[in-house]
A and B are shown apart, each in its own frame.
Chain A
Amino acid sequence: MARALINVPPKAKRGELIEIKTLISHNMETGFRPDNTGKPVPRDIITEFVCKYNGEEIFRAELFPAIAANPFLTFFTIATESGTLNFEWTGDNGFSASESVNITVE
């Protein structure tokens, strides 16, 4: 299981704009680099990231080999209700990881 770091403010006021930062450990092998025999190393990247807030999708990203290793994504949402933010990464060779964070909205 890949290690993921999520940064979400634990508490927010209703209607407040909050910043969400995510980081996951992954090589993001591009498929363009040659190994020492000259053949390219097969591609192995995360291709998709989805963030849901209480089950509703707020942000989705399609990633390509041009994303640096250990993909880092920052984005925003509006704090509407207390609940959970769910993060999901999927990629090549059956890669899949997910993480959840609780948020309290006052």
Chain B
Amino acid sequence: MREDHIAPATRRRFLIDTAALAGAAGLDLSLAIRPASATPASMRAAIRRVVGEASVKKGRLKIDLPPLIENGNAVPLTVAAESPMTADNYVKAIHVFTEKNPQPNVISVQLGPLAGRATFATRIRLADSQKVIAIAEMNDGSFWSDEIEVIVTLAACLEGV
């Protein structure tokens, strides 16, 4: 009976002490347990590398991705750009980026007038609920983008073997 009294007391003290310690080292702890991931800043840097100084306008591009994803290991992605795809008006490239995967790049495709339609589909991995951005580069040097927020319940990439 006595031990029953002591046990909660020590456990409570332990919890209080731990909480105090965690509070003191709060920032460090939260950093330590975060897995490697790209940040919105590294995504912006990756986009800058593709786009350079040009401005990116919204539109002329559509991402098709399920808004609620049960398994992030294989998510069907379709990106379609509006373009006649003729010899003097076509989509040169489409790039896809994520915000919170370990690396911001997902895929970069290069197209030309021979592609006929500026659409492609693939299956991607998503490590977290996050924003996915696609950017299309037109042959006239303009950039167009679309973005979509997705919710991922089972993350990809980070689980052990």
Contact = CB atoms under 8 A, between A and B. Distances in A.
The reply to whether chain A is a binding partner of chain B is yes
Interface of A: 17-18, 30, 32-36, 41, 53, 56-69, 71-78
**Residue among A35, A41, A61 with the highest chain B CB neighbour number at 10 A:** A61
Contacts of B153: none
21 contacts: A17-B116, A32-B36, A33-B161, A35-B161, A53-B114, A59-B115, A61-B108, A63-B107, A64-B103, A66-B105, A66-B124, A67-B107, A67-B124, A68-B73, A68-B74, A69-B74, A72-B123, A73-B120, A75-B115, A76-B116, A77-B114
Interface in B45-60: none
Chain B: interface residue count, which band?
A: 35 or more
Interface of B: 36, 73-75, 78, 98, 101-103, 105-112, 114-117, 119-126, 156-161
Contact of B110 (A17, A61, A65): A61
A13 to B, nearest CB: 13
Contacts of B110: 59-61
